[in-house]
């Protein structure tokens, strides 16, 4: 059965594609192994992202006339002070992606608040109008959602209970949830380092294109959203960056795919009266033998 496209999509569009980039840089190693700062190979492997990957990806996006969404940890923004300006000047969005890239469930609420607020202050000080958020490792806590409501974020892209945009209501605040998924993340396909072990895969770019293309084609039948999630230290490598171009070209050839940054999709989602609204669905631990 063919699904009905999300009412957030423009008329005639059966699916939406958003190209998003998590500029974790060295935080991707340091949050796993702080002593990794002394491993020159690991540090330069990660630094490839802001130094080479981001400029290469932005060049492709400019050639294809597509805007992307870049999620940047506060630490990365402070380490590379010209990075945010270059992304904004190219017309792309910058979103909140924690400060040190620690998953929120591993932190106490006060620790998460400090991390969250420091990242927010860093991005704002560098000229970002911060309206979008993605949790480190996508591992938002329920407290994360409270922080997003408190600071009036327009959207989040961390939760995985749908593949269509919806409105999340937290303490009376409405924000769009734009669900991602691991199958659309490049880390599972390309991530490799001998130490620390942040992945053990080096798949061909052709396989990744086929995975993502097939998901986009399926969502054209379902009427859903494809959130491509890439890391410039991985997808910024030359052959892999071409997958970004191939996805854009394929989506355009389909003729019924809306290519847009997450902020635009969030605005359309919040504005449409027929978008489903939900509240955080916290499991009821009394249903089983679990202890909080």
* 256 compared with 195, residue with greater pLDDT: 256
Helix 142-150, helix 109-125: angle, nearest 10: 40
Looking at residue 1, what is its pLDDT?
44
Q: Tell whether 163 is covered by a domain.
A: yes
pLDDT tier for residue 6 given thresholds of 50, 70 and 90: very high
Mean pLDDT of all residues in 168-194: 97
Mean pLDDT of all residues in 135-142: 97
Looking at residue 115, what is its pLDDT?
98
Q: What is the CATH number of the domain that holds 126?
A: 3.20.20.370
Q: Tell whether 232 is covered by a domain.
A: yes
Q: Which residues in 67-94 are b (16+ Cβ under 10 Å) and which e?
A: bbbbbbbbbbbbebeebbeebbebebbb
Q: Tell whether 291 is covered by a domain.
A: no
Q: Tell whether 202 is covered by a domain.
A: yes
Q: Tell whether 233 is covered by a domain.
A: yes
pLDDT tier for residue 197 given thresholds of 50, 70 and 90: confident
Looking at residue 291, what is its pLDDT?
75
DSSP for residue 236: T
Compute the mean pLDDT over every residue in the chain, rounded to the nearest whole number. 97
Task: Please state the pTM of the whole predicted model.
Answer: 0.97
Helix 205-222, helix 238-254: angle, nearest 10: 20
Q: Tell whether 107 is covered by a domain.
A: yes
Domains identified in the chain, total number: 1
Domain hosting residue 124, numbered range: 15-278
């Amino acid at each position: 059965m063919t699904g009905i496209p999300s009412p957030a999509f423009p008329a005639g569009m059966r699916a939406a594609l958003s190209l998003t980039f998590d500029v974790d840089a060295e935080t991707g190693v340091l949050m796993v192994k702080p002593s990794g700062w002394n491993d020159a190979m690991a540090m330069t492997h990660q630094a490839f992202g802001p130094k080479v990957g981001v400029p290469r990806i932005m060049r492709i996006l400019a050639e294809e006339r597509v805007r992307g969404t870049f999620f940047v940890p506060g630490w990365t923004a402070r380490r590379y002070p010209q990075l945010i300006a270059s992304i904004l000047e190219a017309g792309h969005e910058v979103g909140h992606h924690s400060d040190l890239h620690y998953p929120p469930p591993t932190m106490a609420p006060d620790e998460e608040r400090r991390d969250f607020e420091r990242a927010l202050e860093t991005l704002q000080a560098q000229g970002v109008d911060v309206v979008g958020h993605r949790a480190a490792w996508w591992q938002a806590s329920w407290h994360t959602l409270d922080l997003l409501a408190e600071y009036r974020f327009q959207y989040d892209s961390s939760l995985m209970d749908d593949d269509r945009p919806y409105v999340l209501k937290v303490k009376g605040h409405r924000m769009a949830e734009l669900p991602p998924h691991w199958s659309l993340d490049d880390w599972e396909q390309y991530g490799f380092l001998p130490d620390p072990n942040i992945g053990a895969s080096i798949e061909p770019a052709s396989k990744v294109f086929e995975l993502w293309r097939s998901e986009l084609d399926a969502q054209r039948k379902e009427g859903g959203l494809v959130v491509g999630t890439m890391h410039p230290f991985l997808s910024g490598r030359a052959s892999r960056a071409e997958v970004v171009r191939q996805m854009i070209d394929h989506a355009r050839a389909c003729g019924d795919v809306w290519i847009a940054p997450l902020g635009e999709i969030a605005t359309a989602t919040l504005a449409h009266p027929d978008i489903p609204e939900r509240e955080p669905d916290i499991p009821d631990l009394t249903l089983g033998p679990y202890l909080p």
